[in-house]
Amino acid sequence: MKDFPFLSILTLLPLVGAAVVAFIPRARGNLAKTIALAWSLVVLALSVVMWIAFQAGGERFQFRESYQWIPTWGARFTFATDGIALVMLVLIALLVPLVILASWNDVDETQRSVPTYFALLLTLECTMIGVFAAADVFLFYVLFEVMLVPMYFIIGSYGGQRRQYAAVKFFLYSLVGGLFMLAAVIGLWVVGGHHTFDWETLKGASAAFDTNTARWLFLGFFIAFAVKAPFFPFHTWLPDAGVAAPAPAAALLVGVLDKVGTFGILRYCLPLFPEASRWFAPAALVLGVIGILYAALLAVGQNDLKRLVSYTSIAHFGFIGIGIFAFTTQAGTGSVLYMVNHGLATGLLFLVVGMFVSRRGSSLVSDFGGAGKLIPVLAGVLFFAGLASLALPGTAPFISEFLVLIGTFTTHKVYAVIATFGIILAAAYVLWMVQRTTQGTLNPVLTEVPAMRKDITLREKIVVAPLVLLLLLLGFYPKPVTDVINPAVEQTMQDVGTTDPGPTAVANGRVAR
Amino acid sequence: MDDLKLPDIDYGALAPMLILFGAACIGVLFEALLPRNRRHGIQLGLGLLALVAALVTVIVERNTRVVTIGGAVAVDGPAVFLWGSILLLGVVSLLLIGERTLEPGGAFVSQAAITVGSQKDIKQAGGQPGATEVYPLTLFALGGMLLFVAANDLLTMFVALEVFSLPLYLLCALARRRRLLSQEAAMKYFLLGSYASAFFLFGVALIYGFSGAVDFASIHAAVADPARSEVLLFGGLALVSIGLLFKSAAVPFHVWTPDVYQGAPTPITALMAACTKVAAFGGLLRVLYVAFDGVQWDFQPVLGVIAVLTMLTGAVLAVTQTDMKRLLAYSSIANAGYLLVGVLALNKSGLSSTMFYLVAYGFSVLAAFGIVSLVRDADGEATHLSRWAGLGRKSPVFAAVFSFILLAFAGIPLTSGFTSKFAVFGAAVEGGQTWLVIFGVITSMLLAFPYLRVVVLMWLSEPSETTPAVSIPGFLTAAALAIGVIATFALGVVPAPLLDLTNDAAQFVR
């Protein structure tokens, strides 16, 4: 089982599926949907098997595979996963079938090709899995950039209003970040000296990096990841892209694709440039805290549901950011758990919002009002998704947010205290949004929209049920996930060379330096 | 008095050039002897045959390392590699040049001397078969390029420069449509090219004054001698560089590029963008790496500034363009800047990565101009950007191919555009030229915008009334397109074989 090439198959499988779906004639949209769904379920099944085969307390990197690619540069197809990447891989594999199911009727067959849309989704899945599974810096960079292309066409061809603007903005922002990273990758390759891109070899060599060079290289990587995540002040593309993208694709965008940013910081910035990470940490913490408060305030004021959810995500990424740069195991585990939970909660929120939008034909809050009287069950799901998103105790995000805050409090009290205000703002934007859309007097216009009379369908129930269940399950019993995450986070924190202060240091007595 | 001795000539090593020049002469005879209606097929066949034969001899002689004809020509690794590249790209260009199904009579005018707008001119625009002199002219140009990249002294280099430039000036004037624009392009190219040649020649004279010789080995030795005049050395090097940078389309010697690219018949533009670039940078590499490497610390900063200016100018002005051919021209200027970054690494990987870049870019640009020649309406090619709106709906396959090429130009991974940029930037960082790489990265960001704008136009805009349909390409253009696109993809995904080839070839003889 250990030698089964899980990661390369997991990466390539969706691509094969995409090729199959892309060649289905345009007129047979339903066939394309069915095949895409079945294919993504196979990927999900494989990822679950991989989860079971992963040994939580074992080696840091498992399922390692390496194939020759460009010997002149030392670039190889190297795949390996630690606990952090593993949970993200499974999250992707879980979300994609739900997204496919949720977008079942989203593509207007008369205007756009249905098979192409689903082929693009599967291509996106391939690149996303590849990014998290790569253990070769060159391979990671390649997939990081290629990932833009399918998303660009999904937003640009299948999105709503201002989709062209949003697609180009998304592409250019990410590309600019990516090119900074390219410069850093080249620099890393040269100072790495071995003419290799292998992550572990480079990490071994990283102790000898010149302090100044390492700081520049850190910055190159960090900018790319900060744009991708996005952190304040690199965030302005996300609300536009979130609004313009089809809601299920937006769920994938903020649920998984953006996590590449925070994952990249954990996997590349911290271990490869530990000194630079510590040096830049105060700045990153400040950005994180500003992001939490600023994005939350903006979210309160939004009148567009999709834009509102996008801003809440930026606020959440602020939490993830401070959790990472607090450099404690608790906060780090909290951040990674947050990445998973945010994928589930915001994914659910975006999917439900998408169901609202497709019924009403508008995403403006003011176009709803009292919708709960017409579609009570769906309104209830929206309420639940909102509560999960504001980290109500009992839902999964509460645990991660709590871990991040107490983990940060042990080292950076001021930041933790300020960040806590973000929770209050979160309650404000979620509850006010729910109140304005589903509660209160019924907006008379809604009764004239026939689709608004139809409550949640079976297909939609199948989409939301797994997410609701997981949010509750992980809210009460997160151990299966934390067991996988914890060792990887501990090792990452060791790489940075920090030790947990106070009581936790006793439990974790190893000192890296 | 000494007897005149004939120099040794290694005919085997020189065979590729001899084949091309010989075939070109035969082509001229065909022009004189064959009836007009049979010339096209025979000339095209002869041209392709000659190029393929030359390519075969290059492959056979791939391990030859020799300086021959009295030291005038150096056949070494880079020369052989660049010969192969020029010939391969030449074959593809010739396929584009030979295309006659897109437009009755082909892309070339039948009699260039007829006054524009006269009755005769209108009549000949209507479908008289194009001039077949283009084939021998192309062969002469390609032969000159082969000599240029292998020239081992400055005089041979100058002769080669003229041999490949003169046919190109003529070819630029032969567009079937928009005759005035074409003639203007040829005139501009000729006049500015002549200035550049004059600068080059003046530089050769100064270098001769400095070193007492024109061959690269003697210059190299003289550069190491501190007793000689620095004024002559740097004056000469500067003037020679101007001549070479003009052909490479580096700023500030680039002003001809957009006009000439726009006015010339599209297949000729493709030839210039692909093959002339290889030749120009091949010559530049040899001069800088073989003859003047002793003063690299002196010219590196100056050429570095030129590289930065070239990248910036190309990228910034590409943003403002509204004509597809001009956009590609500015993109080609920016690419000249990236190539200069590779050249200025001044190490072995600089040499090999520049050669890799030349090949990769050549194939992509050929495919790009191939597509440009397909998008046409009743008045010929529709090159204005607004006409490309919604092309993705009307002709998804060609729009997809063109998008792929544009993504390659933008340097997105899994295309040759990425691997080649990575190669030159990596070489430059290794060579201590990090500042050039930073500018390279910044301009890549700028340059992504115009490419992306075209992709948006084609896919995300609604087609307008005036959106032309893409013509179905004939076999020749289709073949050229397929080769260009496959090469762009293959070099992006599996660049290793070509990288190994360039690495093995990256050794000049002196």
B86 pLDDT more than 70: yes
Say if strands B376-377 and B66-68 run parallel, antiparallel, or are unpaired: unpaired
Q: Do B445 and A153 touch (CB under 8 A)?
A: no
Q: Do B460 and A167 touch (CB under 8 A)?
A: yes
Q: Do B422 and A182 touch (CB under 8 A)?
A: yes
Identify the bridge partners of residue B215 per DSSP, sorted by sequence position. Answer: B153
Contacting residues of A for B425, CB less than 8 Å apart: 182-183, 186
> What is the rounded CA–CA span in Å between residue A416 and residue B333?
52
> What is the rounded CA–CA span in Å between residue A277 and residue A42?
39
Q: Nearest-CA residue of chain A relative to B461?
A: A164
Cis check for the bond before A233: say yes or no (omega within 30 of 0). yes
Exposed e or buried b for every residue in B28-46, given b needs 16+ CB within 10 A? bebbeeeeeeebbeebbeb
Nearest to A502 by CA among A403, A405, A409: A409
Judge whether B49 and B58 are in contact, CB under 8 Å.
no
Residues, chain B: 510
Q: Check residue A442 and give left, alpha or beta (phi > 0: left; psi -120 to 50: alpha).
A: beta
| Chain A touched by B449 (CB under 8 Å) | yes
Return the DSSP state at B151: B
Return the DSSP state at B386: G
Mean pLDDT value across chain A: 87
Contacts of residue A92, defined as CB under 8 A and 6 or more positions apart, other chains included, come to: A47, A125, A128, A129, A132, A256
The pLDDT of residue A114 is 85
Q: For A298-351, what is each residue's pLDDT tens digit?
A: 999 888 888 999 999 999 999 999 999 988 888 999 999 999 999 999 999 999
In this predicted structure, which of A386-395, A408-417, B233-242, B385-394 has the lowest mean pLDDT?
A: B385-394
> What is the rounded CA–CA span in Å between residue A498 and residue A513?
8
Average pLDDT over residues A172-191: 90
Contacting residues of B for A143, CB less than 8 Å apart: 413
A372 pLDDT more than 70: yes
Domain range annotation of chain A:
275-499
Q: For B184-213, what is each residue's pLDDT tens digit?
A: 999 999 999 999 999 999 999 999 999 999
In one-letter notation, the amino acid at residue A363 is S
Contacting residues of B for A186, CB less than 8 Å apart: 422, 425-426, 429, 437
Q: Do A179 and B444 touch (CB under 8 A)?
A: yes
Closest Cα in chain B, distance from residue A157 (Å): 6
| Chain A touched by B452 (CB under 8 Å) | yes
Q: Nearest-CA residue of chain A relative to B497?
A: A70
> What is the rounded CA–CA span in Å between residue B230 and residue B220?
14
Indicate the pLDDT class of residue A1, thresholds 50, 70 and 90.
low
Average pLDDT over residues B363-381: 89
Show which of residues 131-170 on chain A sit within 8 Å of chain B, judged by CB atoms: 141-143, 145-146, 148-149, 153, 156-157, 163-164, 167-168
In this predicted structure, which of A489-493, B44-48, B461-465, B489-493 has the lowest mean pLDDT?
A: B461-465
Q: Do B499 and A190 touch (CB under 8 A)?
A: no
The closest CB to that of B426, out of A143, A146, A189, belongs to A189
Q: Do A145 and B412 touch (CB under 8 A)?
A: yes
The closest CB to that of A183, out of B407, B437, B503, belongs to B437
Closest Cα in chain B, distance from residue A155 (Å): 10
Q: Do A149 and B412 touch (CB under 8 A)?
A: yes
| Chain B touched by A293 (CB under 8 Å) | no
The closest CB to that of A164, out of B437, B460, B496, belongs to B460
Average pLDDT over residues A459-478: 90
In-domain check, residue B423:
yes
Domain with B98 in it: 11-505
In this predicted structure, which of A64-73, A427-436, B378-387 has the lowest mean pLDDT?
A: B378-387
Contacting residues of B for A179, CB less than 8 Å apart: 411, 441-442, 444-445
A504 pLDDT more than 50: no
Contacting residues of B for A69, CB less than 8 Å apart: 494, 496
In-domain check, residue B1:
no
Closest Cα in chain B, distance from residue A349 (Å): 28
Contacts of residue B25, defined as CB under 8 A and 6 or more positions apart, other chains included, come to: B136
Average pLDDT over residues A138-142: 93
> What is the rounded CA–CA span in Å between residue A96 and residue A10?
13
Interface with B, mutate which of A155, A169, A182 (most B CBs under 10 A): A182
Q: Do A157 and B460 touch (CB under 8 A)?
A: yes
Q: Nearest-CA residue of chain A relative to B502?
A: A72
> What is the rounded CA–CA span in Å between residue A104 and residue A118?
10
Higher pLDDT: B471 or B485? It is: B485
CA atoms within a 13 Å half-sphere pointing along the CA-CB vector of A384: 23
Nearest to A217 by CA among A159, A170, A275: A275
The pLDDT of residue B1 is 53
Q: What percent of chain A has pLDDT over 90?
A: 37
Nearest to A322 by CA among A360, A300, A290: A290
Q: Do A190 and B412 touch (CB under 8 A)?
A: no
Q: Nearest-CA residue of chain B relative to A173?
A: B445
Contacting residues of B for A22, CB less than 8 Å apart: none
Closest Cα in chain A, distance from residue B39 (Å): 43
Q: For B403-455, what is each residue's pLDDT tens digit?
A: 999 999 998 989 999 999 999 999 999 898 999 999 999 999 999 999 988 98
Show which of residues 405-444 on chain B sit within 8 Å of chain A, judged by CB atoms: 407, 410-414, 418-419, 422, 425-426, 429-430, 434, 437-438, 441-442, 444
The pLDDT of residue A513 is 42
Closest Cα in chain B, distance from residue A193 (Å): 10
Q: Do B449 and A172 touch (CB under 8 A)?
A: yes
A284 pLDDT more than 70: yes
> What is the rounded CA–CA span in Å between residue A100 and residue A114?
11
Residues, chain A: 513
Q: Check residue A474 and give left, alpha or beta (phi > 0: left; psi -120 to 50: alpha).
A: alpha
The pLDDT of residue A247 is 85
The closest CB to that of A149, out of B407, B422, B425, belongs to B407
Residue labelled with tokens 């930026």: A314
A511 pLDDT more than 50: no
Q: Nearest-CA residue of chain B relative to A193?
A: B430
Q: Nearest-CA residue of chain A relative to B491?
A: A70
Judge whether A247 and A115 are in contact, CB under 8 Å.
no
| Chain B touched by A70 (CB under 8 Å) | yes
Q: Do B413 and A176 touch (CB under 8 A)?
A: no
| Chain A touched by B69 (CB under 8 Å) | no
Closest Cα in chain A, distance from residue B493 (Å): 9
Closest Cα in chain B, distance from residue A429 (Å): 34
Q: Do A190 and B461 touch (CB under 8 A)?
A: no
Q: Do A189 and B413 touch (CB under 8 A)?
A: no
The pLDDT of residue A502 is 56
Contacts of residue A418, defined as CB under 8 A and 6 or more positions apart, other chains included, come to: A289, A292, A293
In-domain check, residue B107:
yes
| Chain B touched by A69 (CB under 8 Å) | yes
Q: For B107-161, what is each residue's pLDDT tens digit?
A: 888 888 888 888 888 887 777 888 889 999 999 999 999 999 999 999 999 999 9
Total tally of structural domains belonging to chain B: 1
Interface with B, mutate which of A76, A112, A142 (most B CBs under 10 A): A142
Size of interface A-B (CB pairs under 8 A): 81
CA atoms within a 13 Å half-sphere pointing along the CA-CB vector of B370: 34
In-domain check, residue B157:
yes
The pLDDT of residue B154 is 94
The H or E element containing residue A91 is: helix A83-102
Q: For B8-42, what is each residue's pLDDT tens digit?
A: 888 889 999 999 999 999 999 999 999 988 899 99
Measured in whole angstroms, how far is the alpha carbon of residue A220 from the centre of its chain?
Answer: 21
Q: Nearest-CA residue of chain B relative to A181?
A: B441
The closest CB to that of B500, out of A72, A179, A187, belongs to A72
| Chain B touched by A172 (CB under 8 Å) | yes
Mean pLDDT value across chain B: 91
The pLDDT of residue A201 is 85
Higher pLDDT: A362 or A124? It is: A124
Q: For B102-114, what is each residue's pLDDT tens digit?
A: 887 788 888 888 8
Q: Do A172 and B448 touch (CB under 8 A)?
A: yes
Give me the interface pTM, i.e. the ipTM: 0.90
